[in-house]
Amino acid sequence: MNSRFPSQDRRRLISAAAASVLVGAVAPSWAQATWPSKPLRFIVPYPPGGGTDLVARMVAQKLTQTLGQQVVVDNKPGASTIIGTDLMAKAAPDGHTIGLVTDSHAINPTFFPKLPYDSEKDFSFISQLVNVPLMMVAHPSLNVKTLREFIALAKAQPNKINYASIGNGTPHQLAMELLRVGANIELTHVAYKGVAPALADVLAGHAHVMFTGTSSAAPHIKEGRLVPLAISSAKRQQAFPNIPAVSEVLPDYEFVTWYGVVGPAGMPREVTQRLAREIAAAMSLPDVKEKLASMGVEAATSTPDEFAVYMRKQAASLSRMVQLTGVKPD
């Protein structure tokens, strides 16, 4: 008996080993083929109605069509995007939770040293989405029509002009603080929990001025409810040729924000790569490009690896910017 069974055992072992190799070889393809198996949650750490929300919903709609599963936008604003971003970091890394990040994600580690997550290690980077210049707008009651007039008024009335931002340490605050330093003026900061409430108070005249996304500002400028003073990119935007760049008054000034997509750390690489491909395809569609152009927004997609490298560079650059402006937590 002993002389027969070893031969049979060897055959079984060889068969089992071959099967395990085969399973290992096809596992990634199987994982990719069965994902997504349920709707995706797309966390946006901003309130509905702002530029981030508009872009996220555009992307979600296109991904829903190509992935065959609903991609549901879930707005989780607050605490300079930390609340929503923490939910992304703590989600299951199965590819069914993704999130939108902006340059706030790169700023926050400098601004808030005790974050509940590591901005690099706790995330899977998927793709950059867009580059977004900010527009400086004022309430008509401020009685200024140009950036030069605004600077002159601010110099004459130090700390009397209130500016709104979408939160302490956000790009919208940094954009104004860079202008403040460059123009040597003093302003009073009022922080809100997102674009929608900040813009609402500027429209009501409770705050005098703010930097906001071009898509958020454009309808109100058209209606005469806001006065456009300048745009934060190095040059004028094709969509808004009559609005001067800040650099026409302050030559060294440039500030352009960006949006990107991440997931929790540990997502399967084949899933992040497919998402990046689907996002790139969506952002290149004619209707999407036309909509982005009308918003003054430029598509800027990337691979997961490219986005991770970009994030590290942005974190270093924005850290230097925070130090230059002297911005501190409230």
pLDDT digits (tens, 9 = 90+) for 191-228: 998 888 999 999 999 999 999 988 889 899 999 999 99
pLDDT of residue 3: 35
pLDDT of residue 322: 87
CA distances from 319 to 76, 109, 188, 260, 325 (A): 25, 8, 22, 19, 10
Start-end of CATH 3.40.190.10 domains in the chain: 133-248
80, 103 contact by CB (below 8 A): no
* Rounded Cα distance, 139 and 73, in Å: 31
* Rounded Cα distance, 329 and 2, in Å: 77
More confident residue, 259 or 4: 259
* Rounded Cα distance, 280 and 301, in Å: 6
Average pLDDT in the chain: 89
DSSP per-residue codes, 170-239: SHHHHHHHHHHHHHT---EEEE-SSHHHHHHHHHHTSS-EEEEEHHHHHHHHHTTSSEEEEESSSS-BTT
Q: What architecture is the 38-131+256-325 domain classified under in CATH?
A: 3-Layer(aba) Sandwich (3.40)
What percent of the chain stands above pLDDT 90?
A: 73
DSSP per-residue codes, 29-40: HHHHHH---SPE
* Rounded Cα distance, 125 and 300, in Å: 14
Q: Read off the tokens for 314.
A: 């942005």
Query: CB within 8 A of 116, min separation 6: which ones?
Result: 82, 86, 89
pLDDT of residue 33: 59
User: Dmax over Cα atoms in the chain, in whole Å?
Assistant: 104
With a cut of 80, say whether residue 19 has pLDDT above it: no
pLDDT of residue 156: 98
Three-state secondary-structure class, residue 267:
coil
Q: Count Cα neighbours of 66 within 13 Å in the Cβ-side half-sphere.
A: 17
With a cut of 50, say whether residue 179 has pLDDT above it: yes
With a cut of 70, say whether residue 154 has pLDDT above it: yes
Start-end of CATH 3.40.190.150 domains in the chain: 38-131+256-325
**CB neighbours of residue 285 within 10 Å:** 13
pLDDT of residue 296: 83
Class of domain 133-248: alpha beta
With a cut of 70, say whether residue 183 has pLDDT above it: yes
Q: Read off the tokens for 137.
A: 């707008």
* Rounded Cα distance, 77 and 82, in Å: 8
> Rg of the chain's alpha carbons, rounded to an integer?
24
What percent of the chain stands above pLDDT 70?
A: 89
With a cut of 50, say whether residue 282 has pLDDT above it: yes
More confident residue, 154 or 27: 154
